[in-house]
Structure 1
Amino acid sequence: MVDFANALKVAGSGMQAQATRLGRLSENIANADTPGYHRKTISFHAAMSAGQTDGTVETGPVRLDQSPLEQIYDPSHPLADESGHYNGSNVNLLVEIADAREAQRSYEANLKMFDQIRQMSSSLMDLLRK
């Protein structure tokens, strides 16, 4: 039963990490048109327990993408400089939507694994009761 609990913990940590990733991606999509907005990125790393990896994953710190901001020409914009340009965001909607789809599929895979483990442990308990 300990192996089932560990497997549930691994699947749960994967779902939590992908949910956090989806949160950052949705912030990026929502702020794609915000002047001066830097895209947020997040990384994953293996969780350590007593100096050993247990198969779970954690999210790293949120980082700002340092790629250059898009220069937009609009002399009527309140943030425009003397040349008529202002800083847009560095969010590429195509990349964000593709990343969101990948995060969604990873979440669903972890959810399916979680459900399979739950069904297996339930079947094992039924066999032990007989």
Structure 2
Amino acid sequence: MSDFSKSLEVSSSGLRAQATRLRHLSENISNADTPGYRRKLVSFETAFGDGNTTSTVQTGPVRLDQSVLETVYDPSHPLANDLGEYDGSNVNLLIELTDAKEAQRSYEANLKMFEQTRKMSAGLMDLLRR
């Protein structure tokens, strides 16, 4: 496998991993007000190719955040107990938005690497044609 192909493989794996992370972050944000919702956590793992020394990134299993759910006082809510409380979600919008911004920047960096590799490959092909 050529170095260009390896570089494209690494950057595309980063694109896929960050896209998955962004999808789960958007699910967390959209369910921030859902009672009993636990935020999803995405981890990254190194994936080694078929006997290659090139390692790529992939997402690991999605885990649920086991931190304590927020207790919400609302006696009129259908899920409220005798004390008028129910379990809210453990999603902190500030953390989710910060993580989303980080994932977006990482996605953009991987995309830039992909584009630069493609341009270098095209430039090499032009030189070889001369």
TM-score range, shorter chain: over 0.9
Contact 1:17 1:44 in 2 (8 A): yes
Across the two proteins, how many residue pairs are aligned to each other?
Answer: 130
Structure 2 CA distance for partners of 1:35 and 1:116, relative to 1, 3 Å:
same
CA-based RMSD = 1.2
Shift of 1:55: 2.5
Question: In the TM superposition, what are the counterparts of 1:64-75 in structure 2 within 5 Å?
Answer: 64-75=64-75
Name the % identity. 68
| Secondary structure at the counterpart of residue 56 of structure 1 | strand
Length-normalised TM-score, structure 2: 0.96
Unaligned runs of 5+ in 2: none
Unaligned runs of 5+ in 1: none
Shift of 1:52: 6.1
Shift of 1:49: 2.6
Structure 1 position 6 matched with structure 2 position 32:
no
Contact 2:49 2:56 in 1 (8 A): no
| Secondary structure at the counterpart of residue 57 of structure 1 | strand
Q: Which residue of 1 aligns with 2:124?
A: 124
| Secondary structure at the counterpart of residue 75 of structure 2 | coil
Length-normalised TM-score, structure 1: 0.96
Structure 1 position 55 matched with structure 2 position 55:
yes
Structure 1 position 25 matched with structure 2 position 19:
no
Structure 1 position 115 matched with structure 2 position 106:
no
CA distance in 2, matches of 1:85, 1:3: 59
CA distance in 2, matches of 1:50, 1:119: 26
For residues 76-128 of structure 1, what are the alpha-carbon distances to aligned partners after superposition, in whole Å with 9 as ceiling and x for unaligned? 11100001100000000000000000000000000000000000000000000
For residues 8-27 of structure 1, what are the alpha-carbon distances to aligned partners after superposition, in whole Å with 9 as ceiling and x for unaligned? 00000000000000000000
Q: Which residue of 2 aligns with 1:37?
A: 37
Return the letter of the residue paired with 1:85.
E
